[in-house]
Amino acid sequence: MTSTALDTVIQATLDASSLQYEHADEGRFFVTLPGTRKLQTNCWLIVAEHALLVEAFVCRQPDEAHEEVYRYMLQRNARLYGVHYTLDSTGDIYLIGRVGLHAVTETELDRLLGQVLEAADGDFNTLLELGFATAIRREWGWRESRGESLANLQAFRQLVERDGPVPPLSER
């Protein structure tokens, strides 16, 4: 399949799913996948010589509990379709995948993007809770001490209830 034909398949799939995207240049698409826990996941689709490459940023390098985060990602890799968790040179977490060009169809691309979204959005709070627990608890304590809204931290209420908030650095 030619790069132009693949571009057509990719555009048709993205349009059919009403996804926002930029067609950067031939064979390169920057796609925004909407989520609920992770409000959006940015994903590159790149047509290479023999494969369609998929790369999506999930979250930055964990502050703590690296072993638990990496164990979670490795165990999760066994259940993912077409993509897997990896780290970049700074330790930031990505989902990447590679599909042979012969296998790129609208159905397959939709399935692959669905898996990226399900993993990035579905695992987001777990990754944050494991890798950023102290920062979350500190933010909770800071907001609570000032009467600020805790609305967007409610997903982590059990973390704070279990371990208690961490006082902000300025109050230690």
Going by pLDDT thresholds of 50, 70 and 90, the confidence category of residue 24 is confident
At residue 162, the pLDDT reads: 86
DSSP track, 155-170: GGHHHHHHH-PPPPGG
Q: Model confidence over 57-87: pLDDT tens digits?
A: 999 999 999 999 999 999 999 999 999 999 9
**Has residue 171 been placed in a domain?**
no
> How many domains in the chain?
2
Q: At what angle do helices 133-146 and 106-131 cross, to 10 degrees?
A: 70
Spell 100-133 as b/e; 16+ CB within 10 A means b: ebeebeeebbeebbebbbebbbebbeebbbbbbb
What is the CB neighbour count within 10 angstroms for residue 147? 7
| pTM of the predicted protein model | 0.90
Check whether residue 141 and residue 92 sit in a common domain: no
At residue 123, the pLDDT reads: 98
Domain endpoint, select from 123, 143, 158: 123
Mean pLDDT for all residues in the chain: 93
Q: What is the CATH number of the domain that holds 46?
A: 3.30.1460.10
Going by pLDDT thresholds of 50, 70 and 90, the confidence category of residue 168 is low
Check whether residue 97 and residue 145 sit in a common domain: no
